[in-house]
Amino acid sequence: MKNVQRLLVLLLLFICSSVSAQNVVTGKVTNKETGEPLQGVSILADKASGGTVTKEDGTFSLKYKPGASTLLFSYVGFASQTVTIGTQTSFDIKLAASAGETNEVVVIGYGTQRKSSVTGAVAKYKNDRLDELPVSRLDQALQGKMAGVQVQNISSEAGAAPKINIRGISSINAGSSPLVVVDGQPIADGLSFVNPADVESVEVLKDAASAAIYGSRGASGVILITTKSGKVDKTKYNVKYSLGQKRDYKRYDILSSSDYLRLLYNEGAQRFTDSTAYTLGFTAANLTSFRTNKGVLATDAEKAAYIVEQTLMGGQGTDWQSESLRPGLFQNVQVSASGGKKDIQYFISGGYQRDEGMMYKSDFQRYSIRTKLDIKLSNRVKLGINLNPSYSKRISPSENFTNFYRYPTFLPVFHNDLTAKNVNQLAQWANIRPGDFAQPRHFSSIYYSGTMPDGSTCLLYTSDAADD
């Protein structure tokens, strides 16, 4: 009987020694950026087999053999982390998302997916310095940033929408503009009201698979915009202010009304001395006019314009390019605050942008406010609030720049003493005074007299001095 008791005691001692030969560590693993617990994180002691994984709430308990010195934490999409055990028995591990290109997460319309797993044609642009570009619209900031996405400015006016083509022109009659989705919500003018400083990333679905998600609306491609969100951290304040100016780098060389008539007289003089000019099949009337005008093929309206510019405007015509262009001012003011705790994260921002076009009466202003809240009510219930009121004002000139530089130079912007006195000859313009705006019709149906480029004097009456 005593021998049996001795064997039982020895057996108990052996079991106790076996149990005491394994140490235990506990802890919790969370996402470093969001603070959310990570489930399924693999944990190994000295990279040995066995190990354990974290539970739904991110906690773990691992038994390891004496002599183990390190713990290895690894999780798909996150950078692996190795810690030294030492005498510590509890660990609070925070894993950071992997910065590798193949682990980048992209939005694909019906969720998110690692970029290495995406089989469709998806282009992504992450906002690193997007808010520092001197542009007033998000689509203008995307020019040249993503392959397969063509952003083309079709107007120089401030705040004008550019033309966007994905995979080229998809229809002749229907529109080829892509569908814009902001934070999962399709918005017709999403690229115009979104503040570039509030954008976290932009994804473009370029292949036909986008039509399987959004139907015919996605036939021309889909632009997915993800705005910035708060992160688990102390409150961060951000203030940015930028100021710039844009100028025209080159202007058209324009022939003035006086230079044009001088050119006609110069050509006429050479033509008049050319004997072959009389054998071109002129009629008798044309030949008489040719000899009378000494080969000059100038109309009365062109001669009247020369007289107005040389006599009434002191030989200095109007530079309509200078009258229509100006240095454009660009302003950008951005203020934001972001942060949060484990259960609630927030991002609040306000912005003001002003973009003056290089043409007068071309102006664009936008005021925007964004409030974005992410609230975790429980492990299964989350609440998101996203408010983005904005106000924009756009002023466009009534004429494009082409019509300005094509305007005749003899026509002044405002009447001076001489032009006002000249148009006062007509009763209907008797009330015109110096400083009033000049109009082409003011210079019609008036007698003009003056000296031509060849020194001859000219007296003429014209009804279309400005119309030509």
- pLDDT at residue number 461: 81
More confident residue, 64 or 3: 64
- pLDDT band at residue 17 using 50, 70 and 90 as cut-offs: very low
Q: How far is CA 407 from CA 167, 291, 356, 462, in A?
A: 40, 32, 24, 19
- pLDDT at residue number 169: 62
Residue 173 above 60 pLDDT?
no
- pLDDT at residue number 19: 44
Q: What are the domain boundaries of the chain?
A: 2-95, 102-227, 234-246+324-399, 262-319+402-462
Residue 107 above 70 pLDDT?
no
What distance in Å separates the CA atoms of residue 65 and residue 324, rounded to the nearest whole number?
Answer: 83
Residue 197 above 60 pLDDT?
yes
Q: Which of these, 203, 200, 159, lies nearest to 181 by C-alpha position?
A: 203
- pLDDT band at residue 101 using 50, 70 and 90 as cut-offs: very low
DSSP annotation string for 56-116 = TTSEEEEEE-TT--EEEEEETTEEEEEEE-TT--EEEEEEPBP--GGG-EEE-SSSEEEGG
- pLDDT at residue number 20: 45
Q: Which of these, 177, 184, 257, lies nearest to 217 by C-alpha position?
A: 177
More confident residue, 187 or 15: 187
Q: How far is CA 13 from CA 19, 63, 223, in A?
A: 10, 20, 69
More confident residue, 134 or 62: 62
Residue 434 above 90 pLDDT?
yes
Question: Comparing 222-231, 263-272, 328-337, 448-457, which segment has the lowest mean pLDDT?
Answer: 263-272
- pLDDT at residue number 280: 58
- pLDDT band at residue 288 using 50, 70 and 90 as cut-offs: low
pTM for the predicted model, two decimal places: 0.64
What are the helix and strand counts (H, E) for the chain? 10, 24
Over residues 220-237, the mean pLDDT reads 87
What distance in Å separates the CA atoms of residue 365 and residue 355, rounded to the nearest whole number?
Answer: 6
- pLDDT band at residue 283 using 50, 70 and 90 as cut-offs: low
Backbone angle region of 168, left / alpha / beta, with phi > 0 → left and psi within -120 to 50 → alpha: left
Element spanning 265, H or E: helix 257-272
More confident residue, 269 or 208: 269
Quote the CATH superfamily of domain 2-95.
Answer: Carboxypeptidase-like, regulatory domain (2.60.40.1120)
Highest mean pLDDT pick, 1-10, 203-212, 439-448, 459-468: 439-448
Counting residues of the chain whose pLDDT is more than 70, the rounded percentage is 80
- pLDDT band at residue 8 using 50, 70 and 90 as cut-offs: low
Which of 29-61 are b and which e, b meaning 16 or more Cβ less than 10 Å from the residue's Cβ? Answer: bbbbebbebbeebebbbeeeeebbebeeebebe
What distance in Å separates the CA atoms of residue 98 and residue 317, rounded to the nearest whole number?
Answer: 66
- pLDDT at residue number 232: 84
pLDDT per position as a tens digit, 367-414: 999 999 999 888 888 899 999 898 989 998 888 888 888 889 999 999
Domain 102-227 in the same topology as domain 2-95? no
Identity at 133, one-letter amino acid code: L
Q: Which residues contact 160 (CB under 8 A, 6 or more apart)?
A: 153, 154, 396
C-beta atoms surrounding 308 within 10 Å: 27
Which of 169-208 are b and which e, b meaning 16 or more Cβ less than 10 Å from the residue's Cβ? Answer: eeeeeeebbbbbbbbeeebeebbbbbbbbbbebbbbbbee
Pairing of strands 42-45, 105-107: unpaired
Residue 212 above 90 pLDDT?
no
Q: What is the mean pLDDT of the chain?
A: 81
CATH ID of 102-227, from 3.40.640.10, 1.10.10.10, 2.170.130.10, 1.10.1060.10: 2.170.130.10
Counting residues of the chain whose pLDDT is more than 90, the rounded percentage is 25
What distance in Å separates the CA atoms of residue 109 and residue 137, rounded to the nearest whole number?
Answer: 23
Q: How far apart are the first and last CA of the chain?
A: 133
Residue 348 above 90 pLDDT?
yes
- pLDDT band at residue 322 using 50, 70 and 90 as cut-offs: very high
- pLDDT at residue number 171: 59
Residue 211 above 60 pLDDT?
yes
Q: Which residues contact 14 (CB under 8 A, 6 or more apart)?
A: none
